Amino acid sequence: MTTKLTFLLALCLVLGALMVACGGGADNTATTNGATASGDKIGVAECDEFITKYESCITGKVPAAQQAAFKSSIETWRKSWKDLAANPQTKGTLAQACKTQLESAKTSLSSFGCSW
């Protein structure tokens, strides 16, 4: 079971990093319901902190034409992490995964001048 857990967390981190690195492109017209989504907590302090900081960076620093792709990443993380947090066998590993994702975001979003 530990190998499966490690694989799932690694997959989440890799997918998250790819989404941030790729940025999706300006022609991405997908929208998300920010009012509902931003109120959803993961239940792991490090993950909730990461999403709050990431959302703040995206809405405050990223050009509007690029925001949809970044917001899509937030929703993907939120859903994945909520699912992992709901499982007692995986919840304990989320804190470190979210800390790692925050460090990755600091690097990948540095060109936007976000404060972390």
Name the DSSP class of 85.
Answer: H
**58 part of a folded domain:** yes
Question: Cβ–Cβ contacts within 10 Å for residue 9, how many?
Answer: 18
pLDDT reading at 72 higher than 60? yes
Q: Collect all residues with Cβ–Cβ distance below 8 Å to 81 and sequence separation of at least 6.
A: 12, 42, 44, 47, 94, 97, 98
Compute, in degrees rounded to 10, the torsion defined by CA atoms 30, 36, 38, 43: -120
Q: Residue 60 belongs to what domain range? A: 2-18+41-103
Question: Residue 47 is encoded by which pair of tokens?
Answer: 């993950």
Element (H, E) at 15: helix 2-22
**23 part of a folded domain:** no
What pLDDT does residue 30 have? 36
**112 part of a folded domain:** no
**79 part of a folded domain:** yes
Q: Kindly give the interhelix angle for 88-108 and 45-61, rounded to the nearest 10 degrees.
A: 30
Domains identified in the chain, total number: 1
Averaged pLDDT score across all residues of the chain? 78
- The per-residue pLDDT for range 16-54, each reduced to its tens digit, is 443 444 444 333 333 333 433 445 899 999 999 999 999
**24 part of a folded domain:** no
